[in-house]
Amino acid sequence: MVAEQLRRINRQAQAILLEPCGRNTASAVAVAALRLLEQDAEALLLVLPADHVIQQPKVLHRAIAAGIPLAQAGKLVTFGIVPAGAETGYGYIRASQPLADEGDTLLAFAIDSFVEKPTLERAEQYVASGDYYWNSGMFLSRASSYLDELQARHPQMVEHCRQALAEARNDLDFTRLADGHFAACENISIDYAVMEHTGQGVVMPLSAGWSDVGSWSALC
C-alpha cells in the first residue's frame, strides 16, 4: 500500500522497511534511525503514525519546522495536542519549564511526566490546569540522539535492530528485516523505552485538528 501511494504522487522511497513481526514503536524507530545514519550522521528523524488524521497539515508543517532547531540541539521533541476537552481515551503529557528562542518566542516545554489514560474527573483537572497535552505519538529528533537514549536503557534492543538491518534482504520496493534478530527485541513503545526517562524530552503544543481515530466513535 505504501509503495503504491508513493508511486501515485511520483515519489521514490529511500527505504520501505518491513517488520517480520510487531514489536511496538521503540524497535521500529530504532531500525529507521540506523538506516538513516548509514546515509547521514546528522540526519533528523520524524516519526508520524500513518493512521492518524491531521485536518490542518500546514499547521503541523509549521510545528515541525519550529521543532527542527530543538532536534538539532539534541532534544527529543514530541508534539502535544492542545486538549479540545476532557478526553479519557488519550494519554497526557505534563509540561514544565517553558523553552523559548532568542526572540523570546515560546517554542516548547520541558516534559515533566507522561500520564496514562485518566478518569474523566482527572482529565477535567488536567484540562483546567493548562499544563497537560494529549500524547500524539509524533516525535522529532536526531536519529543519533534517539539511538543514544535507547542504547543507554535498552542496549540489547539496539544490537538486535542493528543485526536485523545488517542481515535484511531486499525484495522489489522493500527491505525485509531479519526475522530472528528483530523478533528478539523487547515489545515496548518509545514512550516507555525512552521518553519517560530521558532528560532531553520536550513537548511542542500543537492544535491542527488531530485525531488518532482510536475508536468507531471517533468517526461519528
For 79-114, what is each residue's pLDDT tens digit? 999 999 999 989 999 999 998 776 667 789 999 999
Q: In which band, very low, low, confident or very high, does the pLDDT at 172 lie, cut at 50, 70 and 90?
A: confident
pLDDT at 102: 63
pLDDT at residue 220 tops 70: no
pLDDT at 22: 95
Average pLDDT over residues 181-192: 96
pLDDT at 103: 67
pLDDT at 215: 73
Indicate the burial class of 75 (C-beta count within 10 angstroms; 0-12, 13-18, 19 or more): buried
Cα-based distances in Å from 202 to 21, 79, 120, 182: 30, 9, 26, 29
Domain harbouring 17, CATH code: 3.90.550.10
pLDDT at 214: 75
88 within some domain: yes
54 within some domain: yes
Total count of domains within the chain: 1
Domain that holds residue 39: 2-209
pLDDT at 100: 75
> What percent of the chain is predicted at pLDDT more than 70?
97
Q: In which band, very low, low, confident or very high, does the pLDDT at 137 lie, cut at 50, 70 and 90?
A: very high
Spatial separation of the C-alpha atoms in residues 176 and 204, rounded to whole Å: 34
149 within some domain: yes
Closest-CA residue to 31 (of 155, 159, 145, 191)? 159
Residues 6+ apart with CB under 8 A from 174: 3, 16, 17, 18
217 within some domain: no
3-state class of 69 per DSSP? helix
215 within some domain: no
Q: For all residues of the chain together, what is the average pLDDT?
A: 93
Task: Detail the DSSP E strand segments found in 27-173.
Answer: 44-47, 53-54, 76-81, 92-100, 106-115, 132-142, 169-171
83 within some domain: yes
- pLDDT tens profile 34-81: 999 999 999 999 999 988 999 999 999 999 999 999 999 999 999 999
Spatial separation of the C-alpha atoms in residues 69 and 82, rounded to whole Å: 22
Q: What is the dihedral of CA 75, 93, 78, 200, to 10 degrees?
A: 10
Average pLDDT over residues 124-129: 96
31 within some domain: yes
At 98, list the grid cell: 517553558
At 84, list the grid cell: 479540545
Query: HSE (CB half, 13 Å, CA atoms) of 154?
Result: 25
3-state class of 54 per DSSP? strand
pLDDT at residue 117 tops 70: yes
214 within some domain: no
